[in-house]
Copies of this chain bind each other. A is one copy, B any other.
Amino acid sequence: MDGMDAARGAVMSVKELEAFLTLEFPQAFGPGKPHHVESVGRNVATVRLDADESHLRPGGTVSGPAMMALADVAIYVALLGQIGPVGLAVTTNLSINFLRKPAPGPMFADAKLIKLGKRLAVGEVGLRGPGSDELVAHCVATYSIPDRPGA
């Protein structure tokens, strides 16, 4: 376990998260894949998307489905950072608002858990492009957490 991340308040480090996600979402994470965990901390995580052709709309901007997938996984990463590598947590609800046309380039998703209960977790996430704080999309999602011994 990476001490610096532990100091930041997460039970998994960036490296541990990347390794777990490479197994669980082999199409999204891993060498040559577009998603990357930028940072993790107490109830927060940032995930970066280096969009390739499959994520782009004609015109070169990131597609809506690619943004939904990025938002979803960013909250999931923030959740993993708190409860550890639980592969069975599932999204039950996701609501997203598309706010602005993104500029070309990498997209960042800053996720924050606003509730971490025994059975449900809720997170919100803002998506932004490179070099701007303006949100291109904002998303709130709920995850169902499997029963955990001792939780």
Contact = CB atoms under 8 A, between A and B. Distances in A.
How many chain copies does the complex carry? Answer: 4
Nearest to A53: B27
A23 B19 CA distance: 38
A85 B54 CA distance: 23
Interface of A is mostly: strand
Contacts of A64: 69, 72, 91, 94
A114 interface: yes
Contact of A99 (B94, B96, B122): B122
A124 B58 CA distance: 26
Interface string A94-110: 11111110000000000
A90 interface: yes
A93 B95 CA distance: 7
A26 interface: yes
A14 interface: no
14 contacts: A24-B58, A27-B53, A27-B54, A92-B97, A92-B98, A92-B120, A97-B122, A97-B140, A100-B115, A115-B135, A119-B144, A122-B138, A124-B124, A138-B140
